[in-house]
Amino acid sequence: MENPFNLFKRTVFPSSLGVDIGTTSIKVVEVKQGDKRPFVVNYGLLESSGYLARANQALQTSNLKIFESDVTELLKTVIREMGTATKDAVASIAPFSAFMTVLDFPNMSQQEMEKAIQYQAKQYVPIPLSEVALDWLKVGESQDDEGFMRQKILLISVPLEQIKKYQRMFAAAGLSLRALEIESLSLARIFGGDPTSTIVVDIGSRSTNIIFLENGRLAWNVQSDFAAATLTQNLAESLGINALRAEELKKERGILGTGPNRELSTIMIPFLDAIINEVKKAQFGYKAQFPSAKKTERMIITGGGANLLGIGPYFEREFALPVVRANSFAGFEHDPAIEPLIPELNPVMSVALGLGMKQFA
Ligand SMILES: Nc1ncnc2c1ncn2[C@@H]1O[C@H](COP(=O)(O)OP(=O)(O)OP(=O)(O)O)[C@@H](O)[C@H]1O
Ligand SMILES: [Mg+2]
């Protein structure tokens, strides 16, 4: 099979779809070439109804097979509602479906590197290499004690079974899957325009993806299972209400924590703190792994969880860093009609927009 990570490098399509299949929702953007920048023609966002009712069973469970047909149906629906004729799609793979590790190599030619990586991969990838698609990128450089340059390589492997499943789902929805990439790369494309050393914290339903960008490029990335759905679950349990109501309350009130909302904040904050702890652990891990990395200068929060009212100031206090909400549409032109929706869409659509940007990057 041709390497699915590279299919897009060769051709340019007139317009393409960026498709982010999240745990609880599917996000799609259609992007074409604009006057100066890529142009967002249209977007679609479909929450998988019933996931709250089904409690923990969501679209992307470890056993996704049961839900493959659900994903296809949702994909068909969202495409139909968008009214797009574009069939070419680029999709992302969640960090919990990929295996990533950083390897350290002396400087060598591209050809030698290919061989060395294959060899090393055997030791690090937990399943046989015949069953995975491998990709790698250089994420850092350093000088060893004797003055020789060494490079850090981020090795990404995705089980072929996972890729085939995506191909099946997209084919069944009448789409042509042109490329797949891990979400972290899509996010790095969206937020990497600025060389400021940045941590991107993508708070999704099921997982929080913590990404370190250096010189605008992906350097390191850690995934945690503490995420936005845990806030809803614990609100429901503590207040003895169903998950749908808890979700509504969470979105309406957030952690602003005054007057009658104080109780909600008190319940949710420990779970937000759990996410914060994971980010702090990731910061330690990053320092250990990349001792010469520049000091992080800002944090970008994204994913649906970044819409929690009050989260920005709370994170700012906890991290003593400027915390900015994602501005994912910044690199695009778009229809003025969607302008009023952009503040809320910014964090939710960042992965899909990163995918939509891929063919223009
Ligand atoms: N206004 C809001 N306030 C608080 N939380 C919100 C708000 N809007 C969305 N969320 C939360 O964001 C989460 C969904 O985020 P997102 O769409 O990024 O997740 P996902 O991509 O489906 O999941 P994952 O990335 O983990 O697979 C849900 O838990 C939802 O409750
Ligand atoms: Mg997501």
- Which ligand gives the minimal distance to the CA of 306? 1
Measured by CA distance, the residue closest to atom 15 of ligand 1 is: 304
**Percent of the chain clearing pLDDT 70 (strictly above):** 91
Do 272 and 292 meet the contact criterion of CB atoms below 8 Å apart? Answer: no
Residues 125-168: tens digit of each pLDDT: 888 889 999 989 988 887 888 888 889 999 999 999 999 999 99
Q: Characterize 324-337 residue by residue with b for buried, 16 or more Cβ atoms within 10 angstroms of its Cβ, and e for exposed.
A: bebbbbebbbbeee
The ligand minimizing its distance to the Cα of 24 is 1
Give the distance (Å) from ligand 2 centre to CA of residue 281: 21
pLDDT digit string (tens) for 20-56? 998 888 999 999 999 999 999 999 999 875 555 554 4
Q: What is the mean pLDDT of the chain?
A: 89
Q: Can 7-97+159-229+269-360 and 99-158 be said to share one CATH topology?
A: no
Does 62 have pLDDT greater than 50?
no
Q: At what angle do helices 243-253 and 262-289 cross, to 10 degrees?
A: 80
The alpha carbon of residue 104 and the mean position of all alpha carbons in its chain are separated, in whole angstroms, by 25
Of the pLDDT bands very low, low, confident and very high (cuts 50, 70, 90), residue 190 is: very high
Domain boundary assignment for the chain: 7-97+159-229+269-360, 99-158
187/195 Cα distance (integer angstroms): 14
pLDDT digits (tens, 9 = 90+) for 227-256: 999 999 999 999 999 988 999 999 999 998
Which pLDDT belongs to residue 12?
54
C-alpha 71 to ligand 2 mean position (Å):
15
CATH of the domain spanning 99-158: 3.30.1490.300
Q: How far is the CA of 306 from the centre of ligand 1 (A)?
A: 8
Q: Kindly report the protein residue whose alpha carbon is nearest to atom 30 of ligand 1.
A: 304
For residue 5, the model assigns a pLDDT of: 55
Q: Whose CA is nearest to atom 17 of ligand 1?
A: 304
Mutate which of 24, 64, 186, 233 for ligand 1 pocket (most atoms within 8 A of beta carbon): 24
Is residue 109 very low, low, confident or very high in pLDDT (cuts 50, 70, 90)?
A: confident
The span from the first CA to the last CA of the chain, in angstroms, equals 25
Question: Got the DSSP string for 184-247?
Answer: HHHHHHHHTTS-S-EEEEEE-SS-EEEEEEETTEEEEEEEES--HHHHHHHHHHHHT--HHHHH
- Residue 92 CA to residue 34 CA, distance in Å, equals 23
Residues with CB under 6 A from ligand 1: 22-25, 60, 94, 204-207, 227-229, 232, 247, 250-251, 254, 303-305, 307-308, 348
Residue 261: predicted pLDDT: 67
Q: Note residues around ion ligand 2 (Cβ under 5 angstroms).
A: 22, 204
pLDDT exceeds 80 at position 265 = yes
Is domain 7-97+159-229+269-360 given the CATH code 3.90.180.10 in the classification?
no
Ligand 1 centre from 24 Cα, in Å? 8
